[in-house]
């Protein structure tokens, strides 16, 4: 989509998605309101349940939370990582602290973060990079309360029981502004690793999973 073709507010979201997909090297990108909800959406879509999922013990708290809330169990392992890591043996890659041109790994569902401490620092938001055309179509109503963005509420026949985890046009527009500001390079330094997060196995709430 060209910038000149933006006709309504939701086009900003589509434009941001297409911009990030092209930059990262995936066919599709699905914008969400957070990296955390993107992880939850993928665990649901891939029907991952009642599994032990290996994650680094030094990562952000929402990662094991989403694993537990989706009916799985985090298996904490203290290993080194920088920028990104896989969620267990799944094709989900948590790349919240990474943003590089051509970073997409074929066959994966790579999750970005736009938190204010991240590289493209909108303040909030996340995105799923994928080559899975079915997922890209399935996810649209799932992240928007089962609704369709091209229909007014009074005219919409809701498609599914969806979540409320969409990115707003305002955040998408801000993302485009940051992307085009000159701040985002082809190779940006990672802003997180096993060295920057505390050991979650020391937290009492995770004692049942240690």
Q: Tell me the pLDDT tens digit for each residue of 118-149.
A: 999 999 999 999 999 999 999 999 999 999 98
CA 157 from centroid of its chain's CA atoms: 27
DSSP string for residues in 83-126: SBEESTTSSEEE-TT--BTT-PPTT-EEEEE-BTTSSS--BS-E
Q: Taking the CA atoms of 49, 32, 29 and 81 in sequence, report the sign of the dihedral they define.
A: negative
For residues 90 and 44, the answer to whether their CB atoms sit within 8 Å is no
Map out the domains of the chain as residue ranges: 6-205
**CA distances in angstroms from 197 to 78, 129, 150, 208, listed in the order given:** 11, 24, 41, 21
* pLDDT tens digits, 90-126: 999 999 999 999 999 999 999 999 999 999 999 999 9
* pLDDT tens digits, 25-82: 999 999 999 999 999 999 999 999 999 999 999 999 999 999 999 999 999 999 999 9
Q: Check: pTM over 0.75? Answer yes or no.
A: yes
3-state DSSP helix/strand/coil % of the chain, to nearest 5: 35, 20, 45
Give the CATH number of domain 6-205: 3.40.640.10
E strand or H helix at 63, and its extent?
helix 62-69
Q: How far apart are CA 4 and CA 36, in angstroms?
A: 32
Q: How far apart are CA 27 and CA 73, in angstroms?
A: 31
Helix axes 169-179, 10-24, angle to 10 degrees: 40
Q: How far apart are CA 167 and CA 9, in angstroms?
A: 12
Q: Write down the pLDDT at residue 104.
A: 98
Q: How far apart are CA 152 and CA 139, in angstroms?
A: 19
């Amino acid at each position: 989509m060209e910038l000149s073709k933006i006709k309504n507010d939701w086009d900003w979201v589509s434009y941001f998605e297409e911009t990030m997909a092209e930059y990262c090297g995936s066919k599709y990108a699905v914008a969400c309101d957070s990296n955390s909800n993107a992880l939850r959406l993928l665990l649901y879509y891939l029907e991952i349940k009642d599994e032990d999922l290996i994650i680094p013990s030094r990562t952000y708290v929402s990662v094991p939370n989403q694993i537990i809330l989706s009916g799985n169990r985090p298996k904490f392992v203290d290993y080194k990582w920088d920028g990104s890591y896989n969620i267990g043996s799944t094709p989900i890659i948590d790349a919240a602290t990474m943003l590089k041109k051509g970073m997409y790994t074929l066959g994966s569902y790579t999750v970005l973060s736009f938190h204010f401490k991240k590289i493209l620092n909108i303040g909030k938001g996340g995105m799923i990079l994928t080559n899975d055309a079915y997922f890209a179509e399935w996810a649209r109503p799932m992240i928007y309360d089962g609704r369709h963005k091209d229909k007014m509420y009074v005219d919409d026949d809701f498609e599914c029981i969806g979540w409320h985890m969409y990115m707003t046009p305002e955040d998408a527009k801000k993302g485009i502004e940051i992307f085009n500001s000159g701040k985002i390079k082809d190779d940006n330094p990672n802003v997180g690793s096993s060295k920057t997060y505390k050991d979650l196995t020391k937290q009492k709430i995770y004692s049942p999973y240690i």
